[in-house]
Amino acid sequence: MMVRRSFLAAPALLLAGVLAMKFGWKGNDDLGWGLALPLWTVAHVLYVLGYLGFGVVLVSLWSRARKAAAGPLDRAGVETVSAVGGIGLIAMLGQMVIDLVVGFRAPDRAGMSAISKSIHDIPGFGFFYGLVPALLFVAATLLIAFLAVHRRVPVWPAAVFAIGSFCVGTGVTALMIGGGVALCVALPALAPNATGPARATAAA
């Protein structure tokens, strides 16, 4: 039950975080710090909860892909992709925690920028930003594609998930929102016990 709920909640929480960040925090530089900091915090807490949900999704996809693997080569590929996704998840959660700490330490927006810059200058902290966090969605997309090829999930939500993941990764507000909606449509259809038609087709 928790796994299936994660397929529903993870994209919804992520989309809520995007909306809070893009329409609450960004573009509202005139907001007092007493309102701006709670908006920043709420958005990042939503992100954290959403990405934790995606962690459950990733583990579920890994387990199902292992069962669908046809041989040692398939299993090795599934294990490698899943491990890469785990690295992306760690980096993404680390990024969110760093951002929360920066917000709590800052006296205002200008102070936040200065603290953030000082943290980014620390060697090794680039791991939490850039391309590494995106590996979570890359890995999830590959695992879902693998399951679709093996007819364990329908093709249409696999395609919608891939498109939605790409849109979220662009960082462009409109595309991120559209991508978030796409993930909210795709993931419930990919949840365990939601793939009966695909399995029936495969059995036939």
Kindly report the pTM of this predicted structure. 0.90
pLDDT tens-digit map of 75-128: 999 999 999 999 999 999 999 999 999 999 999 888 898 998 888 888 888 899
Q: pLDDT-derived band of residue 194, with 50, 70 and 90 as boundaries?
A: low
Write down the pLDDT at residue 29: 77
Q: Does residue 28 register a pLDDT over 90? A: no
In the chain, % of residues over pLDDT 90: 75
Write down the residue that tokens 């292992």 correspond to: 66
